[in-house]
């Protein structure tokens, strides 16, 4: 478009009469512009650009060329569903907000009282209706619209992300085997899938990880028996609250739709997969991203089908919103989508090469030298992270660091900048008793606590699968703070 405008302007100036010299010049200008847009001409490729960071490709430039003159949304609520690549999305929100000095609605610990339904008083610094402005909210919660509305402004853009329930079950099993009683009792996910009812007790704490987890996160009853009517009413409830539902399996297309819905620059939605888990050695593959369609490779087709039936409410949500997603893509334009996805992938490559050591191969946390960027470990599998390219200039280093800073450390950082005088005393988290006080230095370095027989979630909020732990008591403890 800018090209056409340039061409038109040149025609007005009568340049077309000047012939091939001008045409050649014009072609050069266009190539340079596109190159800039994609960040081709970074310092190593073009000496005259030595001072420019790879991020100096103005986001405004990239944005105006693709988005026209819309105004970026700065009131955003992301329902961070579990095991859906949502950490990667949260990282984008953190980056976007941090770069622009926006205020985050942050939890006291690392989640908003999950798995209890969200309550406005879980937000750090919340002082009652409209007492303070929050721009972005995106940490784990069990959705509860009326309470969220007490915190977020009326013009907030709500969105979330879904994943195929079979792949989600595989990921959930790997991550929550030790805390969800239903998973703990099964010998493997296949075993669980063969007869879920045998292992599952509806009222047991943390069993929501084993059945209709998405449905649960949206605030709905995950133990309800499936009926077409119930499934549709849940779907409608989600539609009423959320303007956009992304799909993990189509992550890049999701990012394109998101960026257009929010009117955000391209770089805001370019990411490296965070919180990815390492494939078990037996699988013979290095690692899997979150949207790997083969994630549930160990299951038979019968077992996969069984998991769909077991998670019938989630399966309904997934199919319904997958359908809506692709209708959105159609409205957006298939060809246009392909073009933008290609652009996004090129940009990711460019940034990975600029930012990450070894071209961006994810590495085990223990091998990451800088402890402040080690991802927290939990569950049966290793969570991978990245290392920064050595020798980056300050600006580039900061921008790169934002893209790979793990969730826990990032939240601590934002928290510290929003509440500069906050007491550095470790807090007791949701669901924890005095015996499980947070050792913040251990959390920060992302190290698994050695010698601990209790499996801890990354925020250590669901530590003891102790059924006698009263939720009410936990609530009260939280309120006192």
Three-state DSSP at 470 gives: coil
Look at phi and psi of residue 19 and say left if phi exceeds 0, alpha if psi is from -120 to 50, else beta.
Answer: left
Min separation Cβ 461 and ligand NAG, Å:
16
Min separation Cβ 129 and ligand NAG, Å:
36
Regarding 434 and contact with ligand NAG (CB under 6 A), the answer is no
Give the chain's largest Cα–Cα span.
86
Q: 134, 152 in Cβ contact below 8 A?
A: yes
Q: Which two tokens stand for residue 455?
A: 């499996």
Regarding 294 and contact with ligand NAG (CB under 6 A), the answer is no
Min separation Cβ 152 and ligand NAG, Å:
30
Which of 289, 433 has the CB closer to ligand NAG?
Answer: 433
> Which residue in 48, 453, 468, 480 binds ligand NAG (CB under 6 A)?
468
Regarding 470 and contact with ligand NAG (CB under 6 A), the answer is no
DSSP codes of every residue in 209-245: GGS-HHHHHTTS-TTSPP-HHHHHHHHHHHHHH-SEE
Which of 132, 452 has the CB closer to ligand NAG?
Answer: 452
Q: What is the Cα–Cα distance from 92 to 94, expressed in whole angstroms?
A: 5
Q: Count CB neighbours of 265 within 10 A.
A: 21
Which of 468, 480 has the CB closer to ligand NAG?
Answer: 468
Min separation Cβ 315 and ligand NAG, Å:
8
- What ranges make up the beta strands (E) of 306-462? 363-364, 384-385
Min separation Cβ 416 and ligand NAG, Å:
15
Min separation Cβ 155 and ligand NAG, Å:
31
Q: What is the Cα–Cα distance from 215 to 84, expressed in whole angstroms?
A: 13
> Which residue in 285, 441, 452, 471 binds ligand NAG (CB under 6 A)?
441
Q: Which two tokens stand for residue 384?
A: 């991978």
Lay out the site mask for ligand NAG across 156-195 (x = CB under 6 A, - = otherwise). Answer: ----------------------------------------
Min separation Cβ 394 and ligand NAG, Å:
4
Q: What is the Cα–Cα distance from 57 to 224, expressed in whole angstroms?
A: 51
Q: What is the Cα–Cα distance from 176 to 191, expressed in whole angstroms?
A: 16
Q: Which helix (H) or strand (E) holds 246?
A: strand 244-247
**Residue holding tokens 């929100």?**
93
Q: 201, 287 in Cβ contact below 8 A?
A: no
Q: 137, 94 in Cβ contact below 8 A?
A: no
Beta bridge partners of 157: 76
Which of 69, 394 has the CB closer to ligand NAG?
Answer: 394
Which of 357, 438 has the CB closer to ligand NAG?
Answer: 438
DSSP category for residue 407: H
Which of 44, 439 has the CB closer to ligand NAG?
Answer: 439
Residues 358-397 that bind ligand NAG (CB under 6 A): 394
Regarding 225 and contact with ligand NAG (CB under 6 A), the answer is yes
Min separation Cβ 439 and ligand NAG, Å:
4
> Which residue in 61, 243, 442, 475 binds ligand NAG (CB under 6 A)?
442
Q: 112, 118 in Cβ contact below 8 A?
A: yes
Which range touches ligand NAG (CB under 6 A), out of 95-103, 207-215, 279-287, 434-442? Answer: 434-442
Lay out the site mask for ligand NAG across 300-339 (x = CB under 6 A, - = otherwise). Answer: -------------------x--x---x-------------
Count the residues in the chain: 481
Q: 404, 436 in Cβ contact below 8 A?
A: no
Q: Which two tokens stand for residue 42?
A: 């970074």
DSSP category for residue 17: G
Rounded (10°) CA dihedral 360, 364, 366, 369: 0
Regarding 466 and contact with ligand NAG (CB under 6 A), the answer is yes
Min separation Cβ 105 and ligand NAG, Å:
27
- Sign of the CA dihedral with 440 first, then 445, 451, and 454 last: positive
Which of 146, 391 has the CB closer to ligand NAG?
Answer: 391
> Which residue in 439, 452, 471, 476 binds ligand NAG (CB under 6 A)?
439
Q: 477, 428 in Cβ contact below 8 A?
A: yes
Which of 38, 56 has the CB closer to ligand NAG?
Answer: 56
Which range touches ligand NAG (CB under 6 A), out of 99-107, 205-213, 359-367, 465-473? Answer: 465-473
Q: 179, 206 in Cβ contact below 8 A?
A: yes
Min separation Cβ 453 and ligand NAG, Å:
11
Which of 366, 441 has the CB closer to ligand NAG?
Answer: 441
Which of 156, 389 has the CB closer to ligand NAG?
Answer: 389
What does the binding site for ligand NAG look like in residue numbers (CB under 6 A)? 224-225, 319, 322, 326, 394, 433, 439, 441-442, 466, 468-469
């Amino acid at each position: 478009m800018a090209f056409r405008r340039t061409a038109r302007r040149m025609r007005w100036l009568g340049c077309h009469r000047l012939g091939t010299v001008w045409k050649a010049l014009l072609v050069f200008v266009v190539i340079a512009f596109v190159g800039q847009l994609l960040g081709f001409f970074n310092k190593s490729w073009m000496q005259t650009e030595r001072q420019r960071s790879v991020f100096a490709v103005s986001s405004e430039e990239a944005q105006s060329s693709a988005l026209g003159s819309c105004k970026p949304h700065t009131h955003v609520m992301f329902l961070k569903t579990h095991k859906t690549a949502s950490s990667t999305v949260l990282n984008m929100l953190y980056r976007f907000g941090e770069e622009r000095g926006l205020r985050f609605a942050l939890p006291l610990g690392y989640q908003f009282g999950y798995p209890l339904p969200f309550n406005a008083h879980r937000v750090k610094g919340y002082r009652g209706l409209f007492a303070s402005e929050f721009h972005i909210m995106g940490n784990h919660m069990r959705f509860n619209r009326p309470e969220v509305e007490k915190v977020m402004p009326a013009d907030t853009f709500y969105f979330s992300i879904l994943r195929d329930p079979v792949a989600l079950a595989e990921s959930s099993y790997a991550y929550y085997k030790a805390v969800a009683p239903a998973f703990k009792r099964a010998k493997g996910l296949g075993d669980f899938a063969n007869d879920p009812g045998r292992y599952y007790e509806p009222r047991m704490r943390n069993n929501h990880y084993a059945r209709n987890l998405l449905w649960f996160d949206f605030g709905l009853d995950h133990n309800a028996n499936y009926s077409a009517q119930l499934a549709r009413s849940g779907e409608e409830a989600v539609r009423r609250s959320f303007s956009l539902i992304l799909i993990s399996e189509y992550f890049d297309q999701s990012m394109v739709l998101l960026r257009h819905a929010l009117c955000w620059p391209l770089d805001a939605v370019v990411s490296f997969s965070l919180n990815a888990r390492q494939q078990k050695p037996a699988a013979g593959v290095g690692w899997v991203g979150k949207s790997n369609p083969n994630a549930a490779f160990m299951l038979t087709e019968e077992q996969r089908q069984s998991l769909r039936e077991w998670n019938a409410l989630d399966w309904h949500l997934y199919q319904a919103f997958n359908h809506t997603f692709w209708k959105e893509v159609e409205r957006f334009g298939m060809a246009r989508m392909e073009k933008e996805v290609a652009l996004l992938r090129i940009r990711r490559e460019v940034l990975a090469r600029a930012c990450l050591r070894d071209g961006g191969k994810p590495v085990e946390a223990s091998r990451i030298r800088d402890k402040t960027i080690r991802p927290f470990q939990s569950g049966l599998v290793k969570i991978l992270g990245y290392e920064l390219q050595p020798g980056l200039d300050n600006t580039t280093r900061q921008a790169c660091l934002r893209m790979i800073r793990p969730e826990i450390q990032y939240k601590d950082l934002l928290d510290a900048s929003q509440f500069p005088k906050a007491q550095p005393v470790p807090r007791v988290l949701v669901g924890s008793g005095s015996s499980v006080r947070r050792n913040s230095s251990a959390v920060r370095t992302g190290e698994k606590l050695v010698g601990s027989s209790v499996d801890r979630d990354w925020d250590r909020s669901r530590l003891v699968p102790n059924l006698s732990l009263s939720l009410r008591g936990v609530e009260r403890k939280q309120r006192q703070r």
